[in-house]
């Protein structure tokens, strides 16, 4: 305890020194960054967990793409379980002032079995929870429909052929915690009215659900009885396995934000290492004196360690408080995704922040502490006695291992963590090599420079290690900023520009075969171009070759998902112009049964040209070989099919048709008229989806930018730490130069030359990295060739050169302003 008290007293005084502040600031930023994301993720997780059985609307749900087998209902009755059936499907609805695509949910008596809906009445003033669901002839509509249909409680809306009275407005549904991907707003109606809508037709995308609730034992028995009887297209979901795609996507987003927050941790570790090293250097003589006064090596080590731990505690507590505040900002920005208030976060993120702070301190202050411990006592008599430096490879190796473990822990996945560690290491390596080459080149060029500039550039070379560190830290920080600001807007603008102005912006689906001539005539009458109509048959892939398809056989999430659900298949005699055969060849006229598969899905299922596929369509099976693989343009907003059959294979099966068309601004009336004429049609507005995607991407990138702000702050701390590392040396050199007659201007120029060179090198590394990454993103992810934009390197060089020169001069003004003798005394 005495050591602790003494250490705290020493720290109180040392706190005024730059290195203690740098260390605390670095830890503060690292912990704030990690806890911001941590607290936010915790709130989302809590919301998802809390809503899990409400999300289901019952304790257990049987979900099917066809009517739920009566045997399951019978079994639920035997177990005395409460039960209710629902049907959900997309459809157009129209009201007094407009039409909109909606997600219809027709529910039986007793819905919901778990959770309650929140609804607002006619006045729309406030909302409250309500039991049950609409009675026959009534509809409850989601908030967005009030504006889109100009319908309020008391008005009537049309769902298919049925006319329903709007009774209430749904403000929250138990089974949609997130309206993230729910592109169409909800219409809740009674199951009794479903038939009157006449919407349940061939090819309709209806999902049947049987919700059950009751005693836990009864639920378990029901689950055990039903699961073995499930056939294709049927599945059971309980609270335990209710892992929706939304949940998976959100978890992935959290993981990404978590990794982004680690960039600040990594930069902070550099600052901690630098600050701890300088701390140890400045304490060297004091430690020797204490040894002289009888302190043991353990005393010296403990005094230093307590000071670091106290600084860590300050940084962690302040960082956690800041993180708690900052997560509120994050939640505010991402609030559009959530239809419910997020619960308060738990304490775990704070614990995690503390662990990260501790790991940073333990991993990166140990080498300086060991150095201090081994200080020769003789230094009290002779200050030139050298201090043994611990092997930096072993010492900082420990730090690297600590950091790598943190990355793996934060990513929550060994593979992802290993990739991130590898990625960071490679990025650091490349930045280091590039930085080193630049420093060498610049210092070589110094021969041609005038007086003070030459000295400045010579210093750059002499302090290669410190200079390199500054270049890397700043380069990574500037690169993150360039990518998030200039490059991102640039890429999005390019991608949007790559979509032709007359590209289809509406899909019409669910067109029945007997409506085809009328639909064509409708388009013609309105002066729209003749629509391309594509047949669509829903079938399930049941075999590849002789191998049965079972979801459990796939590890790939997409393959698992696709193997569970029905595909939309089509048939065609000719290859469409926006498709391209990449393997095999398109069928000849009059050929037998053949399949053409999209190359991506073929890869997912590991299907090659020559393999045979067996599909189940409406209970009957047929088999044909895959004779070609197609590459499909995914971003032209036309109908796309994973599997296309040669003519003569699918025609006998029930099919619906779809088309896509372009509608200019102000022609929304076309949609209303189309739906009024053909109520079973669903029209999907792609511009709305595009806007939603853009909104989501804007919000997500703002969140990422926000997290990267911590990285920038950490980068600045590294810059400051790196500058102060060499500050004593600079002050001494400055004093010597002053004594030899150097003017203030010459001293400033010497410093300026060095910092300008470091900043420009960092800017160059950042710009090259940003352009490189942008090229990969553009060509691999967006499929748009990258066009080099001069603004990026210019902005990088300006940000680096000017920013670093300014910060550097500010940080070393002591070297210029101190009177020579005072400066020499202070250092020696």
Partner 1 sequence: MDATGKEHELRQASPPAAGQPDIVRAEGLTKQVSTPDHDLTIVKSATFRVRAGESVAIVGASGSGKSTLLGLLAGLDVPTAGRVWIAGEDLFALDEDGRARLRGRLVGFVFQSFQLLPALTALENVMLPLELAGQDDARAKAQAELSRVGLAERLGHYPRQLSGGEQQRVALARAFATGPKLLFADEPTGNLDSATGAQVIDLLFDLNRENGTTLVLVTHDEGLATRCDRRITIRAGEVSAG
Summarize as ranges the residues that interact with partner 1 (CB under 8 A).
2, 6, 9-10, 13-14, 285-286, 289-299, 376-378, 380-382
DSSP 122-143: TT--S-EEESS-PPTTEEEEEH
Q: How far is the CB of 279 from partner 1 (least distance, A)?
A: 11
Question: How many CA atoms lie within 13 Å of 238's alpha carbon, on the beta-carbon side?
Answer: 12
Question: 644 with 638: CB under 8 angstroms?
Answer: no
Residues with Cβ within 8 Å of 323's Cβ and at least 6 positions away in sequence, in order, are 31, 32, 33, 34, 35, 36, 38, 39, 349, 353
CA distances from 675 to 22, 79, 453, 690 (A): 66, 44, 75, 22
Phi-psi region of 326 (alpha: psi -120 to 50; beta: other; left: phi over 0): alpha
Sequence-separated (6 or more) residues with CB below 8 Å from residue 67: 208
CB of 378 to partner 1, least distance (A): 5
CA 365, CA 362: separation in Å to the nearest integer?
6
Q: What residues contact residue 772 under an 8 Å CB cut-off, 6+ apart?
A: none
Between 13 and 780, whose beta carbon lies closer to partner 1?
A: 13
In whole angstroms, give the CA distance from residue 651 to residue 17: 82
Q: How far is the CB of 377 from partner 1 (least distance, A)?
A: 4
Closer Cβ to partner 1, 387 or 542, answer by number: 387
Tally DSSP H helices, then E strands, for the chain. Answer: 25, 22
Q: Which residue's CB is nearer to partner 1, number 3 or number 543?
A: 3
The C-alpha R_g of the chain, in whole angstroms, comes to 34
What's the CA gap between 442 and 721, in Å, rounded?
23
Question: How many other CB atoms sit within 10 Å of the CB of residue 225?
Answer: 15
**Nearest approach, Cβ of residue 268 and partner 1 (Å):** 25
Write down the residue that tokens 């990625």 correspond to.
423
Q: Return the number of the residue (270 or 295) whose C-beta is nearest partner 1.
A: 295
Q: How far apart are CA 330 and CA 710, in angstroms?
A: 13
Nearest distance from residue 315's CB to partner 1, in Å?
Answer: 20
Nearest distance, CB of residue 385 and partner 1, angstroms: 9
Assess contact for 627 and 657: CB atoms under 8 A: no
- CB nearer to partner 1: give 290 or 617: 290
Kindly state the smallest distance separating residue 43's Cβ from partner 1, in Å.
43
12/77 with CB nearer partner 1: 12
Q: Residue 87 or residue 373: which is nearer to partner 1 going by CB?
A: 373
CB nearer to partner 1: pick between 78 and 285: 285
Comparing CB distances to partner 1, the nearer of 14 and 660 is: 14
Q: What gap in Å lies between CA 105 and CA 89, rounded to an integer?
A: 7
Kindly tell me the sign of the dihedral angle through the C-alpha atoms of 336, 340, 345, 346.
negative
CA distances from 378 to 291, 299, 302, 405, 653 (A): 9, 17, 21, 40, 95
Min separation Cβ 383 and partner 1, Å: 8
Least distance to partner 1, CB of residue 290, Å: 7
Give the C-alpha separation, 312 to 25, whole Å: 10
Nearer to partner 1, 11 or 629 (CB): 11
- Separation between Cα atoms, residue 304 and residue 325, nearest integer Å: 32
Of 336 and 376, CB closest to partner 1: 376
Contact between 584 and 629 under an 8 Å Cβ cutoff? The reply is: yes
CB of 5 to partner 1, least distance (A): 8
Q: What sign does the CA torsion over 745, 746, 748, 752 have?
A: positive
Min dist CB 806 to partner 1, Å, is 30
State which residue, 165 or 824, has the beta carbon closest to partner 1. Answer: 824
CB of 19 to partner 1, least distance (A): 12
Rounded to a whole number of angstroms, the minimum distance from the CB of residue 722 to partner 1 is: 24
Distance CA 364, CA 596 (A): 58
- Rounded CA separation 38/26 (Å): 18
Query: Is the CB of 298 or the CB of 437 nearer to partner 1?
Result: 298
CB of 20 to partner 1, least distance (A): 10
Rounded Cα distance between 597 and 313, Å, is 59
Which one, 12 or 227, has the nearer CB to partner 1?
Answer: 12
Give min distance, CB of 300 to partner 1, in A. 9
Q: Which is nearer to partner 1, 41 or 287 (CB)?
A: 287
Burial class (CB in 10 A: 0-12, 13-18, 19+), 822: exposed
Q: How far is the CB of 735 from partner 1 (least distance, A)?
A: 18
Q: How far is CA 679 from the centre of its chain?
A: 39
Q: How far is the CB of 317 from partner 1 (least distance, A)?
A: 23
Query: What backbone torsions phi and psi does residue 15 show, to the nearest 5 degrees?
Result: -60, -25
Q: Which C-beta is closer to partner 1: that of 291 or that of 488?
A: 291
Of 92, 91, 105, give the one whose Cα is nearest residue 190: 105
DSSP state of 92: E
Q: Is residue 76 within 8 Å of 229, Cβ to Cβ?
A: no
Closest approach of Cβ 824 to partner 1, in Å?
14
Dihedral sign, Cα of residue 552, residue 555, residue 557, residue 562: negative
DSSP 484: I
Which tokens belong to 192? 């009794």
Report residue 221 as tokens: 């028995």
CA separation for the pair 352, 38 (Å, rounded):
8
Neighbours of 382 (CB within 10 A): 9
- The nearer residue to partner 1, 73 or 289, going by C-beta atoms, is 289
Question: Given the complex with partner 1, which of 385 and 404 has the nearer CB atom?
Answer: 385
- Largest Cα–Cα distance in the chain? 104
């Amino acid at each position: 305890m005495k050591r602790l008290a003494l250490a705290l007293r020493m720290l109180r005084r040392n706190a005024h020194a730059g290195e203690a502040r740098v260390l605390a600031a670095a830890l503060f930023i690292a912990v704030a960054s990690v806890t911001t994301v941590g607290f936010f993720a915790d709130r989302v997780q809590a919301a998802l967990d809390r809503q899990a059985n409400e999300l289901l609307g019952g304790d257990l749900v049987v979900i099917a793409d066809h009517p739920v087998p009566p045997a399951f209902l019978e079994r639920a009755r035997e177990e005395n379980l409460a039960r209710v059936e629902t049907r959900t499907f997309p459809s157009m609805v129209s009201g007094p002032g407009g039409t909109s695509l909606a997600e219809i949910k027709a529910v039986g008596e007793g819905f919901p079995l778990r959770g309650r809906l929140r609804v607002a009445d006619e006045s729309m003033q406030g909302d409250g929870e309500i039991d049950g669901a609409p009675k026959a002839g009534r509809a409850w509509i989601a908030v967005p429909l009030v504006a889109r249909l100009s319908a309020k409680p008391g008005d009537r809306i049309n769902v298919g052929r049925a006319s329903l009275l709007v009774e209430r407005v749904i403000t929250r549904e138990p089974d949609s915690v997130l309206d993230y991907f729910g592109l169409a707003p909800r219409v809740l109606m009674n199951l009794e009215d479903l038939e009157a809508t006449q919407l349940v037709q061939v090819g309709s995308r209806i999902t049947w659900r049987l919700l059950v609730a009751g005693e836990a034992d009864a639920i378990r028995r029901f689950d055990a009885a039903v699961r073995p009887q499930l056939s294709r297209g049927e599945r059971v979901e309980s609270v335990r396995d209710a892992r929706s795609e939304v949940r998976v996507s959100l978890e992935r987003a959290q993981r990404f934000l978590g990794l982004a927050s680690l960039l600040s941790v990594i930069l902070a570790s550099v600052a901690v290492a630098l600050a701890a090293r300088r701390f140890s250097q400045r304490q060297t003589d004091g430690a020797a004196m204490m040894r002289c006064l009888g302190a043991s090596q353990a005393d010296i080590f403990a005094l230093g360690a307590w000071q670091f731990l106290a600084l860590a505690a300050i940084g962690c507590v302040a960082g956690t408080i800041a993180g708690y505040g900052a997560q509120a900002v994050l939640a505010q920005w991402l609030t559009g995704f959530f239809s419910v208030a997020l619960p308060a976060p738990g304490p775990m993120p704070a614990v995690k922040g503390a662990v990260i702070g501790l790991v940073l301190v333990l991993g990166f202050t140990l080498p300086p502490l060991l150095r201090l411990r081994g200080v020769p006592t003789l230094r009290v008599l002779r200050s030139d006695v050298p201090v043994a430096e611990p092997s930096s490879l072993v010492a900082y190796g420990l730090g690297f291992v600590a950091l790598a473990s943190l990355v793996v822990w934060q990513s929550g996945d060994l593979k992802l963590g290993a990739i991130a560690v590898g990625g960071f290491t490679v990025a650091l390596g490349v930045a280091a090599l590039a930085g080193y080459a630049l420093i060498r080149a610049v210092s070589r060029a110094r021969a041609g420079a005038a007086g003070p500039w030459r000295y400045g550039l010579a210093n750059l070379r002499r302090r290669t290690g410190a200079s390199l560190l500054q270049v890397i830290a700043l380069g990574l920080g500037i690169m993150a900023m360039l990518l998030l600001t200039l490059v991102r807007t640039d890429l999005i603008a390019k991608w949007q520009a790559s979509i032709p102005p007359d590209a289809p912006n509406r899909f019409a689906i669910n067109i029945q075969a007997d409506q085809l001539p009328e639909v064509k005539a409708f388009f013609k009458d309105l002066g729209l171009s003749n629509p391309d109509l594509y047949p669509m048959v829903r079938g399930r892939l049941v075999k590849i070759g002789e191998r049965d398809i079972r979801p459990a056989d796939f590890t790939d999430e997409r393959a698992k998902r696709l193997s569970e659900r029905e595909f939309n298949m089509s048939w065609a005699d000719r290859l469409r112009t926006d498709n391209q055969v990449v393997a095999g060849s398109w069928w000849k006229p009059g050929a037998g049964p053949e399949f053409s598969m999209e190359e991506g899905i073929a890869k997912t299922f590991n299907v090659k040209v020559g393999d045979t596929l067996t599909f189940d369509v409406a209970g009957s099976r047929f088999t044909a070989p895959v004779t070609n693989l197609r590459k499909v343009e995914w971003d032209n907003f036309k109908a796309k099919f994973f599997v296309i059959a040669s003519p003569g294979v699918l025609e006998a099966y029930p099919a619906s048709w779809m088309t896509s068309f372009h509608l200019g601004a102000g022609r929304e009336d076309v949609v209303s008229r189309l739906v009024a004429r053909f109520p079973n049609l669903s029209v999907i507005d792609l511009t709305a989806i595009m806007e939603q995607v853009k909104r989501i991407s804007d919000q997500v990138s703002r969140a990422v930018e926000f997290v990267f702000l911590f990285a920038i702050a950490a980068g600045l701390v590294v810059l400051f730490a790196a500058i102060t590392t060499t500050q004593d040396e600079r002050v001494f050199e400055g004093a010597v130069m002053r004594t030899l007659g150097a003017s203030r201007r010459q001293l400033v120029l010497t410093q300026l030359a060095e910092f300008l060179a470091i900043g420009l090198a960092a800017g160059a590394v950042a710009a090259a990295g940003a352009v490189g990454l942008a090229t990969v993103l553009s060509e691999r992810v967006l499929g748009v060739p990258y066009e080099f934009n001069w603004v990026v390197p210019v902005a990088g060089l300006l940000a680096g050169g000017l920013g670093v020169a300014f910060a550097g001069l500010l940080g070393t003004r002591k070297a210029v302003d101190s009177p020579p003798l005072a400066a020499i005394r202070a250092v020696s």
